[in-house]
Structure 1
């Protein structure tokens, strides 16, 4: 039987991933990782015991949905640059295809489907290696000010 590859911070850094620091809920749910620039930017999350469904040995669906929100939403930041204050999720649909397990590295490669002056439509696959865990699509509203 082939030896299982151990994934840790050192392995991710060697593969070109950068750990992102964040405050608030994003900081609590992460740490998240990124690799690439612009539209090629991918997001990642190293799945830990705290992300699990204790009794099932799998990662909780809420973690996958949170990662979809943050992973797809990362494309908004790239698209809007310095022009706006930020964004909020208007709608997010997630379709679960398979399970993820503790110790695996989950990734998301977002794709902007359409952008208007105030809305971005984004989709992507949540994967572990070549295995699709979920597909997701959503709409993000671009904010001009904190009161939007």
Structure 2
């Protein structure tokens, strides 16, 4: 599917993310939903996100995982952070037209390093899980 997702394609509660950096904006559109202290990111898989077989590209999965984990760290610590390490375990394929949805949570914090885990699904199927380490950054004035 190469068309832009229509409002009816996006699950209720999700809105388009408009405050991402240039790389993520170029590779989106991404969506998000927040309920209390929980959050989710979503992506409507289009042809531009896929490999030559019409399946979600592993690099796109890793991009999505990085965004999930960075959001979890930012929400937990109220500061920005940079990725130090990212491991992504691809469990299944996602196809053009699928709605990919994921979340993440910080599992630990030690000496300015945050440890994070993420998971993304299409429906009930786990597409990938990921873990990462992020370095918290001091806010610049």
Fold-level similarity (TM above 0.5) = yes
Aligned length: 135
**TM-score, normalised to structure 2's length?**
0.87
Residue 113 in structure 1 maps to residue 107 in structure 2: yes
Aligned to 2:43: 45
**TM-score, normalised to structure 1's length?**
0.83
- CA 1:95–1:141: 2 relative to 1, 3 Å: same
2:92/2:127 contact within 8 Å kept: yes
- CA 1:14–1:66: 2 relative to 1, 3 Å: closer
Unaligned runs of 5+ in 2: none
Question: Structure 2 CA distance, aligned partners of 1:14 and 1:52?
Answer: 21
Kindly report the root-mean-square deviation, in angstroms, between the aligned alpha carbons of the 2 structures: 1.7
Question: Structure 1 CA distance, aligned partners of 2:61 and 2:43?
Answer: 10
- How do 1:29-44 residues align onto structure 2 when only pairs under 5 Å count? 29-37=27-35, 39-44=37-42
Deviation at 1:32, TM superposition (A): 1.1
> Whose Rg is larger?
1
Unaligned runs of 5+ in 1: 1-7
- How do 1:94-105 residues align onto structure 2 when only pairs under 5 Å count? 94-105=88-99
